[in-house]
Structure 1
Amino acid sequence: MKDFFSPGSLVTVAGGILTVVGAIAYSTGSANLSLPTIFYGIPILLGGLALKSSELPPAIRITSANLLRRQREAAAPELSTLIGDVTRWRYGQKAHLESSLEALKLWDDDNPPRLEEIEELDTKDGYGLRLRFQLGSVSLERWVERKVRLGRFFAKGLRAEIKDLGGDQLDLLLLPGQTNQVHE
């Protein structure tokens, strides 16, 4: 259902409706209605189709936006920005966090890692995030090699934990603290 309500879908539907109304008005001889609706409808329809072709849906948000609001507001502001970035529609990108993963050298142009879901965590150490990735062509070993940098990259004072889920998935945990551990 959320795919239908993407901005690309809404623009495409609006352009399609205007184009159809214009075509019907033209065929019935209503020049006052046909010219503006066709004139605006076709470019809007084409713009919507262009958006749909480059659309990246938001990552699934496991935790509701209101559940950990107080903890989120007390945490590093970069984490709140990260949540906002990956839970909205993106256009012209292959995957969420594309530039971040490129900077961390965890990117593959042909088969990049894909963020599937994000979950906010309230741990004994404080507020953190869990990001579930499909690995694509980037090996688990490359993620583990960059584990120390992953924690520092997203916000100061974070540590990264990598949990191997088997197959082609991993969980990246961004938690407060300084130590780094790997759970496999």
Structure 2
Amino acid sequence: MKSTAAMVGGDLVLRSPFSSASGCTCILSLKRHSLASLGSRRPNSCTNFAPNRHAPCLPITHLKNRIHKLSRLVPRAAESTQPSSIAATSADKPTVPDNEFSLAKVSFGVIGLSVGVSLLSYGFGAYFNILPGSEWSALMLTYGFPLAIIGMALKYAELKPVPCLTYSDAEALREKCSTPILTQVRNDVTRYRYGDEQHLEEALKRIFQYGLGGGIPRRSAPMLQRIREEVTEDGKYSVVLVFEAKALEFSDFKRREAKFTSFFGPGITAEVVEGEKNIYEVKLISNTTL
């Protein structure tokens, strides 16, 4: 079914295909002198061109009000995303790469095992005349075997260093604002250790009181994952200890805040912050200011 149009007395008459169903005909009269009168109509007037006269007609003023409300919602949506942008800029702070060489950052287990195995291999090769230096084969076998054993033992008992993230502004304050204990903590956890089950084992044992009344089981002890050197909002140097504790809650750390302060003091203030799932941060903030 199609609409039909015809010229009647200089007017354009549009007949809708729904005229038979609704009993009415939609006639659009476009006279030459009426085109100029369209611009003089009131903005909120609405001419119904629909076949059904009962169809809703929305005035122009209502449309303007809705557009105005939508324009007011756009700045609010932008403001709601502002905290995430602020967090992104704080994460983009310049960091300092740890390129300083130190023997403490070298695994003695790897060194002993490598030297011992090398001496044993060459000693056996020289002993069977596969390699030159048969007169030194006995000496190489004598020292190579214990070195390999010691290297394997150290490799088995070693505790790898934790990653350390240092921001450039924190490095500038480290020399003048860091306390001796904070310096020792940073140096201890960023080097290889031997015989310890975890980093800061003695400190965690006293703070969380393993197996004692009011304490926690040894199997629930938090594990140090990494540390971070940063500057607080009020310009103080701090060392952040990031722990993972699947069996503990935030309240277990929060009520021991004073114990962290007393153990790693004097001259620092400890603050506990809850991070991601099962992650808790202990901020050791130096009270020394420039």
> Same fold judged by TM-score > 0.5?
yes
Q: Distance in 2 between matches of 1:162 and 1:106?
A: 18
Select which of 269, 272, 276 maps to 1:166: 276
* Deviation for aligned residue 1:95: 0.6
Higher relative contact order (CA 8 A, sep 6+): 1
- State the TM-score, normalized to the length of structure 2: 0.55
Among 169, 172, 175, the alignment partner of 1:73 is 175
Q: Which letter does structure 1 place at the counterpart of 2:266?
A: K
- The alpha-carbon deviation at position 13 of structure 1 amounts to 0.8
- Higher fraction of strand: 1
**Could you tell me which amino acid in structure 1 is paired with residue 252 of structure 2?**
R
What are structure 2's unaligned runs of at least 5 residues? Answer: 1-104, 211-216
AA aligned to 2:126 is A
When normalised by structure 1's length, the TM-score is: 0.83
Partner of 2:129: 28
Q: Does 1:115 align with 2:115?
A: no
8 Å CA contact retained: 1:95, 1:112: no
Deviations, residues 30-64 of structure 1 (Å, cap 9, x unaligned): 54221011110010001000001111011101117
- Work out the CA distance in 2 between the residues paired with 1:18 and 1:43: 10
> For residues 62 and 175 of structure 1, what CA distance do their matches in structure 2 show?
16
Structure 1 position 166, deviation (Å)? 3.4
2:118 is the alignment partner of 1:17: yes
Q: Deviations over 1:118-173 (max 9, x none)?
A: 11112224111111111154443321110122123212232222221232211111
| 8 Å contact from structure 1 (residues 163, 170) kept in 2 | yes
Q: Which amino acid aligns with 2:145?
A: I
How many corresponding residue pairs? 173
Distance 1:100 1:136 in 2: 19
Contact 2:230/2:237 (8 A) holds in 1 = yes
DSSP 3-state at the match of 1:156: coil
Moved more, 99-108 or 12-21: 99-108
Q: Give distance in 1, aligned partners of 2:239 and 2:153.
A: 33
Greater C-alpha radius of gyration: 2
CA root-mean-square deviation: 2.3
